[in-house]
């Protein structure tokens, strides 16, 4: 579905959001100020219909984040004309505008370091939830009355154009591995944060490789930024918290809502939560879960989950053989569903009851000596691509970890 380049004030999206005025636009999305029942929101509309699956996956995941320094996703959905995402409308100016207005050429170092600590707090939280921002830059940090807020997680920003090249993020702020189309990680955001801090100090982002010296800053600060800007991810700081500490702005807290959930009384619940959280991170998935067989009834019971609607997933029961997980357990073989909705084994009614109908799914059985004890499920790669047979071996390693815990 396509979105008009310009929506006029008064037009209604999703039956409940009235367009007030445009805020920004890019190749993949347009953001408008809109009015809903609860007040004004920032409404993002997808402008590339080929990215609808990714938009839906990202919207579900981001809607579960909750942190004072991260923009709240209020609502998301689609209709015949639009895919849309309603976000909290942050009152304030983005740091690009602040730099343009007050930079001479940069901002005072003490102010920049305070900003760095607040941005690191937001990023440390989202990284703990296995989310990588991918596009940290002054444009996506809003200076509000309560401090800096991280916005625009770039839902559906990644695309392949007709020439086959990938366009992700903003040059000179995005890490080299992102620029050349390699995998992203938390260290990609370490680079983005360092480039942002450099730009706020110098007035412009650093050049790749060997940026010009930073005037008027302590040598230790410049040395820390240069380490964080290393083209090789493994040579950077391992986390944004480590970068912030090196800059003298330690992260105060990364506390917020967790995306993991487990069934009360489950033995080893914390470790099972860690396994599904890590599995989701490795696969860049929107959700992951572990179900165990109740040997009294033969049902599969979901004991641990991470990601979109994790709390709603935990405790769900499947009758023997029901759904993709039931099929994997019955056959003692991995089950791959590139398109869940077209797979007759998919428990569509159960998924609809939870509130999350995935696009693609991989299930591997947990089995000991040829006897099934449960299943591990991976749902929806966040780039919108299908999980495939190449992912099976890695998923089975996580299944082995779960068995070791059990």
Two tokens at 305? 């989950």
Q: Which residue do the tokens 């991470």 mark?
A: 306
Q: Give yes or no for a contact between 42 and 89, defined as CB atoms under 8 angstroms apart.
A: yes
As a residue count, the chain comes to 406
Residue 189: is the preceding peptide bond cis (ω within 30°)?
no
- Tell me the C-alpha to C-alpha distance, in Å, between residue 70 and each of 92, 144, 146: 14, 12, 12
> Which runs of E-coded beta strand occur in 214-352?
260-262, 285-293, 300-307, 317-318, 335-337
Catalytic position from the list 83, 135, 152, 189: 135
Active site (annotated) includes residue 343: no
Listed in order, strand segments (DSSP E) in 164-209 are 166-167
Quick check: 85 and 155 in contact, CB under 8 A? yes
Residue 208 phi, psi dihedral angles, 5° rounding: -65, 145
Comparing CA positions, the residue from 10, 38, 259, 234 lying closest to residue 130 is 259
For residue 115, the SS3 value is helix
Give the CA count within 13 Å in the CB-facing half-sphere of 314: 20
**Active site residues per annotation:** 135
């Amino acid at each position: 579905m396509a979105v008009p380049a310009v929506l006029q004030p008064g037009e209604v999206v999703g039956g409940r959001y009235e367009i007030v005025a445009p805020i920004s636009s890019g190749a993949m999305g347009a953001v408008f100020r809109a009015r809903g029942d609860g007040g004004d929101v920032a409404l993002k509309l997808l402008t590339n219909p080929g990215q609808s699956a990714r938009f839906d996956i990202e919207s579900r995941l981001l809607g579960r984040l909750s942190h004072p320094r991260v923009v709240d996703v209020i609502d998301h959905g689609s209709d015949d004309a639009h895919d849309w995402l309603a976000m909290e409308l942050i009152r304030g100016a983005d740091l690009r505008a602040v730099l343009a207005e007050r930079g001479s050429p940069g901002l005072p170092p003490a102010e920049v370091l305070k900003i760095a600590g607040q941005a690191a707090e937001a990023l440390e939280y989202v990284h703990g939830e296995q989310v990588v921002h991918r596009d940290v830059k002054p444009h996506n940090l809003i200076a509000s009355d309560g401090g800096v807020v991280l916005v625009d997680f770039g839902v559906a920003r990644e695309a392949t154009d007709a020439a086959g090249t990938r366009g992700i993020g903003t040059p000179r702020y995005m890490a080299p591995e992102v620029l050349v189309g390699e995998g992203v990680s938390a260290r990609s955001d370490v680079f983005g944060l360092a480039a942002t801090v450099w730009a706020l100090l110098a007035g412009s982002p650093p050049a790749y490789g060997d940026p010009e010296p930073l005037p008027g800053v302590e040598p230790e600060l410049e040395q820390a930024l240069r380490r964080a800007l290393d083209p090789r991810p493994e040579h950077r700081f391992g986390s944004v918290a480590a970068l912030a500490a090196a800059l003298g702005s330690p992260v105060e807290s990364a506390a917020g809502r967790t995306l993991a959930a487990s069934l009360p009384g489950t033995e080893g619940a914390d470790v099972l939560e860690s396994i599904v959280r890590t599995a989701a991170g490795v696969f860049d998935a929107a959700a992951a879960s572990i179900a165990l067989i109740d040997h009294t009834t033969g049902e599969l019971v979901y004991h641990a989950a991470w990601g979109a609607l994790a709390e709603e997933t935990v405790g769900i029961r499947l009758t023997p053989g029901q759904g993709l997980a039931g099929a994997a357990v019955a056959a003692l073989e991995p089950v791959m569903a590139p398109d869940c909705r077209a797979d007759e084994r998919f428990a569509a009614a159960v998924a609809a009851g939870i509130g999350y109908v995935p696009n693609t799914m991989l299930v591997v059985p947990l089995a000991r000596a040829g006897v099934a004890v449960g299943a591990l499920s991976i749902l929806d790669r966040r780039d919108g691509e299908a999980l495939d047979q190449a992912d099976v071996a890695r998923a089975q390693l996580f299944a082995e970890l779960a068995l070791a815990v059990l």
